[in-house]
Amino acid sequence: MPYLELKSVSKGYGSNGSRTEVLRDVNLSIEQGEFVAIVGYSGAGKTTLMSILAGLIRPDTGSVTLEGREMSGPGPDRGLVFQNYSLLPWLTVAENVRLAVDQVFPEKTEAGRAAHATEFIEMVNLAPARDKRPHELSGGMRQRVSVARTLAMNPKVLLLDEPLSALDALTRANLQDEIARIRAQQKQTVVLITNDPDEAILLADRVVPLTAGPNATLGESFIVDLPHPRDRKALNHSARFRELRRDISEYLLRSRQDRHATVTRKLILPDIDPEDLSVPRNMLGRTRPLRSSEAREATVEVSS
Amino acid sequence: MSHHVDLSQLSKVYSTPKGPAVIVKDFNLRIAKGEFVTLIGHSGCGKSTVLSMLAGLNDITEGVIILAGKELVGAGPDRGVVFQSPSLLPWYTAFENVMLGVEQVFFTASAEERREIVEYYLTVVGLGDSMHKRPAELSQGMRQRVGIARAFALKPKMLLLDEPFGMLDSLTRYELQGVLLKLWRENRITTLMVTHDVDEALYLSDRVVCMTDGPEAEVGDIIPVAFPRPRERQAVMDHPDYYPLRERLIEFLEVHAHKKKHAAPVTPAAPAAPVAPLVEAAPAPSPRNDAMLVTA
């Protein structure tokens, strides 16, 4: 029996006349300990899918089960990391993490909860910044706080909703490596949503494409059978990496092209050159534009 | 004259309370007519500074830029610029936004011809059915298409692209790269693009210029990209040279990232720390900031 399962899930917004089906007939089974990446376009319904997995919204039809039990709402068994960090600005790093720990482990002693929070702050290498407030931290560090806070709840499933999309390329690469390292330690079940096929291949055991919306649905899985740890640079030598990279982007680009009808239009592009605006208009000496063809034929007299 | 654009001994120095900060130093680059050159480097390395000097939006401290045989002075419509964010006027439709510049440089043409130019470029970028919508009604990818149409419609001598697809998701980025390449192929406008996306650089350009990290950024490595044109993404990626080149570029970026972290070049005249925020208006947080804050 799969650990986390979506069965013919559909979700739409709006009422009868102007209704848009965002997701249609989505099926997904995830095994315990598996790292699944869902890749899709922005606006395809990725966040809707994640909200359904987190229990923040209910699907119109279909069911979501975790360990065979139907999900009825959000809970600490599913930890969610958002793109925008969602930290409380008046609390320090340690306090933000403690907030989650105190909620989830009320039975632990004060000292036990403090030690638990510290463990996860250290895991994301933020121990030296534990007393800083979010505005003192860079985007990459804020996202690490958010990851620590989520992991500290010991969730059964870690849900990552485009966690790195707001970061610059270098910080993103560093955090990808950190997610891979933590995953190797914790062996958690992870669902990552991303728009970057490379990120998906680098981190996941399985990549599932989400077709372009509306009526988005999940395509067939691509198994990423590349050995861990994966090195961004060395992967370029792997034929399997190249093949996966090509197939996944091909699949997604095609899913979008299928939606476009081809129309042939006849257009005219006038064959004229732009005017040099540094020449005053009254000095131009002509009132009609220069054709590109004329410009080529023009002869210039040079007095020596 | 063999070179269309010639950047010679280009330097950019900002004065800060802690003394002059040298962002770019002795930067030399020649671009042939019709060539597509990409500048690649990390955020804050000074690549956008070079581009904005070429656009005439930023004063040159030292050195000279020659475009089509003339020294550059100030900004002008002979250089089309596409920024990371398309900066459209929100109260104008896509059509009116493109028309704004077309009216200026084609003032001798008839109104009919101007309309044809605007419609042509907006249709080619895929906005044939949305050209009378305002920016608020368009997706981010569609807005950037308007930005591309606006730049090409002016028939510039040179095209300057500053991370034009940086804000788009990877898949939309693929599509717009295709749109850009198609237009570029038809017009063969000399282009300088700034990016940190290795795949984008390889797919589009004839040459990739790697910039070392600032301060005092200069040309590090120049890699010719000889894939046959017209290019098809899949064929380029299947080319036997593609992945070796990709690895070389990733390696260049990684090496420079590490240099930055472990041995930040701090000289009394140009302290490394305050430089990054000056290079770009809104620099993305870099790991160097991480390190600073932790030790603070």
Query: A67-89 pLDDT, tens per residue?
Result: 989 888 888 899 999 888 889 99
CA distance A3 to chain B (A): 30
Which residues from B are below 8 Å from A272, CB to CB? Answer: 106, 108-109, 113, 117
pLDDT for residue A299: 52
CA distance B77 to B73: 12
Query: A278-304 pLDDT, tens per residue?
Result: 888 888 888 888 887 765 555 555 544
Amino acid identity at B26:
D
Task: Assess contact for B285 and A140: CB atoms under 8 A.
Answer: yes
How far is Cα of residue A89 from the mean position of the Cα atoms in its chain?
24
CA distance B237 to chain A (A): 8
The percentage of chain A sitting over the pLDDT mark of 90, rounded to a whole number, equals: 51
For chain B, domain boundaries: 3-78+156-295
pLDDT at B235 over 80: yes
Residue in B104, B286, B289, B295 to test binding to A, most A beta-carbons within 10 Å: B286
Selecting from B107, B116, B196 the residue whose C-beta is nearest the C-beta of A269 gives B116
CB burial readout A26-65, b (16+ within 10 A) else e: bebebeeebbbbbbbbbbbbbbbbbbbbbbebebeebebb
CA distance B204 to B193: 9
Q: Do B113 and A281 touch (CB under 8 A)?
A: no
How crowded is residue A131: how many other Cβ atoms within 10 Å of its Cβ? Answer: 10
Q: What is the CA radius of gyration of chain A?
A: 27
CA distance A192 to A38: 6
Q: Do A171 and B109 touch (CB under 8 A)?
A: no
CA distance A239 to A248: 14
Exposed, middle or buried, A165 (CB in 10 Å: 0-12/13-18/19+)? middle
Structural domain A4-257, CATH architecture? 3-Layer(aba) Sandwich (3.40)
Exposed, middle or buried, B71 (CB in 10 Å: 0-12/13-18/19+)? exposed
Which residues from B are below 8 Å from A195, CB to CB? Answer: 169-171
Which residues from B are below 8 Å from A287, CB to CB? Answer: 108
pLDDT, greater one: B18 or B159: B159
Task: Assess contact for B195 and B40: CB atoms under 8 A.
Answer: yes
Query: A234-257 pLDDT, tens per residue?
Result: 898 899 999 999 999 888 888 877
Selecting from B43, B169, B286 the residue whose C-beta is nearest the C-beta of A41 gives B169
How crowded is residue A302: how many other Cβ atoms within 10 Å of its Cβ? Answer: 4
- Which one, of B27, B31, B21, lies nearest residue B50 by Cα? B27
pLDDT for residue B258: 59
Selecting from A128, A170, A277 the residue whose C-beta is nearest the C-beta of B287 gives A170
What is the number of CB-based contacts under 8 A between chain A and chain B? 144
Q: Do B128 and A263 touch (CB under 8 A)?
A: yes
Task: Assess contact for A144 and A85: CB atoms under 8 A.
Answer: no
Query: Residue A298: in which H helix or E strand, if any?
Result: none
Q: In terms of CA atoms, which chain B residue is nearest residue A139?
A: B285
What six digits make up the tokens of B59? 């004063």
Q: Do A256 and B171 touch (CB under 8 A)?
A: yes
pLDDT, greater one: A21 or B207: B207
Q: Do A253 and B174 touch (CB under 8 A)?
A: yes
CA distance A210 to A216: 6
Task: Assess contact for A204 and A224: CB atoms under 8 A.
Answer: yes
pLDDT at B281 over 70: no
pLDDT at B263 over 60: no
CA distance A65 to chain B (A): 30
Tell me yes or no: is domain B3-78+156-295 CATH 3.40.50.300: yes
CA distance B258 to B213: 10
Question: In the 3-class helix/strand/coil scheme, how is A117-153 assigned residue by residue?
Answer: HHHHHHHCCCHHHCCCCHHHCCHHHHHHHHHHHHHCC
Q: At what angle do helices A139-151 and B287-295 cross, to 10 degrees?
A: 70
What six digits make up the tokens of A186? 């914790």
For chain A, domain boundaries: 4-257
Which residues from B are below 8 Å from A140, CB to CB? Answer: 285, 287, 290
pLDDT at B100 over 80: yes
Q: In terms of CA atoms, which chain B residue is nearest residue A39?
A: B171
How crowded is residue A227: how many other Cβ atoms within 10 Å of its Cβ? Answer: 6
Q: Do A277 and B77 touch (CB under 8 A)?
A: yes
Model ipTM value: 0.74
CA distance B11 to chain A (A): 26
Amino acid identity at B212:
T
CA distance B102 to A55: 51
- Which one, of B242, B275, B252, lies nearest residue A242 by Cα? B242
